Amino acid sequence: MLKRNHYFSIILFLIFSLILSTSLFAVDKRPVGFGDKHFVGGRFGAWTMTTSEDFIDSLTDFSSSALYLEFFYDYRFTPFLAAEFSIGIFSQGDLEYDTNAGILTGAAKLYPVFLSAKLYPFSKYKDFSFWPYLKVGGGLVYGNRDFTSTYSGDPINYYVEESQTKFTYNWGFGIDWPIADQIGFNIDFKNTPVKFGDALAGLKDFSGWSLTVGVGYIMKSK
């Protein structure tokens, strides 16, 4: 129930911001500082899984959160609108769990690749130091699993590598903060549903949210 209330509050915030943005939208192609420039950089933080799915096997070592790294490039169309390309990686590290055949030890790595629209509802106010935004996008998540299987009564280890791909969407919000002509900070929150057709490291559903901070280079658009 607590998780549902948390996400309900986030959804209300997004709806309110979208309504507010309709009154602030203005397509202004004149140079307005950060609102007229592209932005490229990197972010790091945590990916926290929100799935309630039970693991296929009894996992002996697992954390719902993992380090998340991401590269991003924002192409600015207008002060109100930018397109963001991003590619990230996160891994739960080595996982060990028991099966009827023996013990499996391995790692599942996920690579989210997305193209998103970033909407800046307060872009009309050109003197703002902070640029809050809403974001929605689509793309794919590529999952890779490698593991070594030690069968009961068999001293030989078997190495296997498998992969899964899921086309999905994400939504989120954040803040861009230009601190100099060519340097800016970023705080980004995203929610991404990811449910594969087959399990990777004993789990199909890797859905979750990421919270990251980053730094980037501000480029002129012309």
Q: 5-19, 144-158, 184-198, 203-217 — which is least confidently predicted?
A: 5-19
* Maximum mean pLDDT: which of 1-15, 40-54, 128-142: 128-142
CATH of the domain at 141: 2.40.160.20
Percentage of residues of the chain with pLDDT beyond 90 = 41
The neighbouring-strand residues paired with 89 are: 69
pLDDT at 58: 44
CA-CA distance, 169 to 140, in Å (whole number)?
8
Q: How far is residue 31's CA from residue 38's CA, in Å, rounded to a whole number?
A: 12
- Structural domain of 181: 2-220
More confident residue, 83 or 146: 83
Mean pLDDT of 153-175: 76
Q: What is the pLDDT of residues 207-218, one digit of tens each?
A: 999 999 999 999
Binning pLDDT at 50, 70 and 90, where does residue 29 land?
very low
In this predicted structure, what is the pLDDT of residue 105?
Answer: 65
Amino acid at 28: D
pLDDT single digits (tens) 191-205: 999 988 887 777 788
Q: Token pair of 180, please?
A: 């100099």
Q: Which of 168, 175, 174 is nearest to 208 (CA)?
A: 168
Number of domains making up the chain: 1
Residue 160 confidence (pLDDT) above 60: no
Which two three-digit tokens encode residue 89? Answer: 């990686």
d(CA 184, CA 73): 13
pLDDT digits (tens, 9 = 90+) for 80-117: 999 999 999 988 666 665 555 556 666 778 999 999 99
pLDDT band at 17, cuts 50/70/90?
low
Q: What is the mean pLDDT of the segment spanning 152-180? A: 78
What string of H, E and C letters represents the secondary structure of the chain? CHHHHHHHHHHHHHHHHHHHHHHHCCCCCCCCHHHHEEEEEEEEEEEEECCCCCCCCEECCCCCEEEEEEEEEEEECCCCEEEEEEEEEEEEEEEEEECCCEEEEEEEEEEEEEEEEEECCCCCCCCCCCEEEEEEEEEEEEEEEEEEEEECCCCCEEEEEEEEEEEEEEEEEEEEEECCCCEEEEEEEEEECCEEEEEECCEEECCEEEEEEEEEEEEECC
pTM: 0.75
Note the Cα 16 to chain centre separation in Å: 22
| Residue 220: band (very low, low, confident or very high) from pLDDT cuts 50, 70, 90 | confident
Q: Give first-to-last CA distance, the chain, whole Å.
A: 50
Does the pLDDT of residue 147 top 90, yes or no?
Answer: no
Give percent of the chain with pLDDT exceeding 70.
64
- Kindly tell me if the per-residue pLDDT of 170 is higher than 90: yes
Which of the four pLDDT bands, split at 50, 70 and 90, describes residue 173? Answer: very high
Kindly give, in sequence order, each residue whose CB lies less than 8 Å from that of residue 72, ignoring residues fewer than 6 positions away.
39, 40, 41, 42, 43, 84, 85, 86, 186, 214, 216
| pLDDT score for 218 | 94
